Each structure stands twice: as structure tokens, then as C-alpha cells.
Amino acid sequence: MISKQKILIVDDDNNIAELISLYLTKECFETMIVNDGESVKGALDSFEPNLILLDLMLPGIDGYQVCREVRAESKIPIIMLSAKGEVFDKVLGLELGADDYMEKPFDSKELVARVKAVLRRYKAVKEEKPVEAPKSTQTIEYPDLRVSLTDYSVVYKGESVNMPPKELELIFFLASSPNQVFTREQLLDRIWGYDYPGDTRTVDVHIKRIREKISDHEKWRLETVWGVGYKFTTV
């Protein structure tokens, strides 16, 4: 018997949470509801969900902080749910490591479709990586820079740099193909997935954040190719 995929619903409005649970249960998902951020850690350990639906406006620890804490320990897919529809709020959520962002109120069919899409992307990424990939293919090193997918770490000038998963994957991908230009669309497809609902501004924001943490080096730099995209240039 194939086990059902599990969805953890985090929302302080229990009526909304129950409604979401009903939609997902009809689609053969197993669900669990918690109403505050403090309960998420325990739910992750006991329920072991495949995906988290995370409301931002939570009592105590808000959704942004919950996302930070989950991302510090896990790559589990997260879809943020919020009445905040400003671009800033969406970009911030994605920067913190969310895989998608839905604005309330939302259509039930769209919610289910996005849950399935994110789970497909996550499954594809996991299957794409060899079980025992050589360490050399998982770590990129340049003078004063080391980026590793093995433990999702970045070391710049001898010091560890804190990067959300998407920032790290983006710099790793660019540095893996030095001097090759990639369009924003190519980067969006490669890092976020072909059916990602966001736009190319997501790439620009992540590049900006990377540059704030890693400055250009005399031997390499993260370069903008105006009108086209980005490349990791080596000297």
C-alpha cells in the first residue's frame, strides 16, 4: 500500500486550517493542524510531514521566524500563506527559503495544484542527485571561496557565510559553469523549477543578497550581463 503524503498546516485561524485540511484530504493527503509557531518543531518530529503550509501571521513566533528555524535544520518544502500581497512580503518569504507564496484568499483548486507542483519539484531534485555523488561534484572552490552542496555551507575568506538554500544553490550553479552566461529565465528554471509561479525579479533579489554577503574577488566575480542575465567570471 502506498503511504499518503503528509501536509502540516500551520494557521492560527482554525476554521481556515480545517477548510484547507478538507481540500487536501479529498486529494488523498494526510494532514495535521497546529495553530502557533511554537508547535511546529514538535509536529515535524512526530508527524514527519512532506510539506508545510505556513501562515505568516501567527501568535508568538511569526511565520517568517518559523521558516528560518525550519530551514536551519531541514529542506522540507514550505508554502507560505498570507493576506499580505506586497512584492516585498513575497520576496522576503522566498529569500528566507519558502518554495512558494500564496496570497489569501486563495482558490482551493489552485492551493492543491501548488502543493502538488512543489512536491513534484522536491521529488525531482532529490532523484536528480546521485546517491553517492563524488564529493568534487558537490563542492566548488575558488580563491577565498568554498561552496558545498554536501552540507549546504559557504566559506568566504575563511569565515562561514549564512545563506538560505536558494541563494547557495544559485551561487553554486553559476560558479559550477565559470564564464558562462545564464539568462534569468534559465536560472529561474534551474534553481526554482520550470513551473515556479514567480518571476525573474526573484533571481535579481537573490543575486543582490549574495553580493551583500560575498564581494568580488581579484580572481573571480559575480557579473551582471546587462539585458541578458548573470555569469560567474574568473580571471
pLDDT greater than 50 at residue 135: no
pLDDT greater than 70 at residue 134: no
- pLDDT for the residue 125: 57
* 124/151 same-domain check: no
Domain with 200 in it: what CATH number?
1.10.10.10
* 115/145 same-domain check: no
Mean pLDDT across the chain, nearest whole number?
A: 86
- pLDDT for the residue 1: 46
Q: Is the preceding omega at residue 134 within 30 degrees of 0, hence cis?
A: no
- pLDDT for the residue 132: 42
- pLDDT for the residue 97: 83
**Segment 22-39, tens digit of pLDDT:** 999 999 999 999 999 999
- pLDDT for the residue 104: 86
Residue range 203-217: mean pLDDT, rounded: 91
- Contact (Cβ atoms closer than 8 angstroms) between residue 135 and residue 148: no
- Contact (Cβ atoms closer than 8 angstroms) between residue 29 and residue 5: yes
**Segment 91-129, tens digit of pLDDT:** 888 878 888 888 888 888 999 999 998 888 777 555 544
List the grid coordinates of 79. Answer: 508554502
Residues in the chain: 235
- pLDDT for the residue 196: 59
Domain span at residue 183 reads 135-234
* 203/228 same-domain check: yes
Residue with cell 522536491: 122
- pLDDT for the residue 233: 94
* 121/146 same-domain check: no
Residue range 10-24: mean pLDDT, rounded: 93
- pLDDT for the residue 99: 86
- pLDDT for the residue 124: 58
- Contact (Cβ atoms closer than 8 angstroms) between residue 6 and residue 48: yes
* 22/106 same-domain check: yes
* 70/163 same-domain check: no
Structural domain includes residue 1: no
The Cα-based distances of 32 to 41, 46, 48, 146 in angstroms read 13, 10, 10, 39
What DSSP state is assigned to residue 226?
T
* 143/100 same-domain check: no
**Segment 156-209, tens digit of pLDDT:** 999 999 988 889 999 999 999 999 999 988 888 888 775 555 567 888 889 999
Taking alpha carbons only, the member of 164, 144, 142, 141 closest to residue 152 is 164
